Amino acid sequence: MQSSFLGPDESADIAGSRLCAARNGYYYIHLSKPYSGASMELWHILATMKELEIFKRPVFGVELRSIDPHGIRLTEMHGSLVLSLLSRDTDSLQFYFLDIDSATALPVMLRGSKISHRINYSMIHIACQRILLVGGSSPTGVYYSSLFVLDFATGESRKMRPLTHGLDGFTLTHLGPGRVGLFGGYSKISCENMIYLVNKDQWSAVCPNDEVDELVAKRWKPCLHNLTDTLILIFGGYNGRVLNDLYVYSTSSNAYATIYPRVTSPLAPREDGAYILTKDKANLVLIGGGTKRCDVLDIETLRTSAMAILADALLKRDLTGQQLGAPQLVSSEHHTAEEKDSVGSRIVDEIKAKVAASGQTTELLDIVWPKKR
């Protein structure tokens, strides 16, 4: 399921918050001499199971001498790139359209709400030519709860409903149409994973009072990947130490599970690392985040294992709920009938059907059903 190789020395410094997928690969903004004569390169990154390839080009069109590396964000929008920069030369964040072919940046001036200097914020494309910009902190340590919609079609920046508290170092991902997930981060008040409903301009908790949800929330700069339309992989981050744990979150069942890949050695710990697909799209490669080691995960095996582990977690949750909320049943035959009609069992059957239809083995999904006591 997992192998590893060493990438170029420079790959250790790749930060997932400055990397995004677009067109035919992954693109990353590399910064040299950040505070005096700053210069940037656009890296095109490709991966196989044994090699990480990096193609570099200088970025043209950015006339800023001082750029904070923690204030850079790169976001894909309809196959193009949007670049956001924090510079001491200006009094607010600066935005650019970055042409992939020429690596030329075109400044974009937005009317409306001004976005003050901030680092460790997050951006994500939500619809049409609109991008969501959330949170972050000032260079002096003030945590922001603000949320903005950047509309590049109208040239406007609009302030929306903020988070309940200031937060930085989190990661955003799509959870489905009109739903954005916020995972991890640091706050002086509390840490919790959140869902933002775009059309309602509304925040809510992902999975209230869940022990694993709390573990996932209390980490800075985890890396995320949409394994399927309903499964999100969450890896690593920092919570006093750099982490190498791997979780899967199901948007359809609102449940987490811990994944333990079948490996010859543990995954390398990473803070602000990134997932990228191999050229054949059969494997995920974990890169950057403070190490040049690249860990390779087979997608089909990972997907099947994730679904099996989640199904098991859902069965246990379903049976626990029955034990707490239902009177004792008098017949063991009744036990079996009820268990087989439970939500968990139906989910397992649905997952088995999907896996079998794709030509994969369902062996990992043959779960032993626990009996009530």
CB-based contacts of 8: which residues, under 8 Å, 6+ apart? 52, 54, 292
Q: Are 124 and 179 in contact (CB under 8 A)?
A: no
pLDDT at 227: 93
pLDDT in tens, 145-197: 999 999 999 999 999 999 999 999 999 999 999 999 999 999 988 788 999 99
Query: For residue 237, what are its two tokens?
Result: 């981050």
pLDDT in tens, 316-332: 777 766 666 655 444 43
- How far is the C-alpha of 196 from the C-alpha of 38, rounded, in Å? 35
| Nearest alpha-carbon partner for 99 in 126, 79, 119, 120 | 79
Chain centroid, CA 267 distance in Å: 17
Enter the pTM of the model.
Answer: 0.84
C-alpha pair distances (Å), 40 with each of 85, 113, 262, 331: 11, 27, 39, 71
- How far is the C-alpha of 309 from the C-alpha of 307, rounded, in Å? 6
Which residue is listed with tokens 């994969």? 360
Topology (CATH) of 2-310? Neuraminidase (2.120.10)
User: Is the model more confident about 73 or about 354?
Assistant: 73
* Sign (positive or negative) of CA dihedral 314, 315, 320, 321: positive
DSSP tag of 70: G
Q: Are 15 and 70 in contact (CB under 8 A)?
A: no
pLDDT in tens, 45-58: 999 999 999 999 99
CB-based contacts of 330: which residues, under 8 Å, 6+ apart? none
| Nearest alpha-carbon partner for 223 in 280, 165, 291 | 291
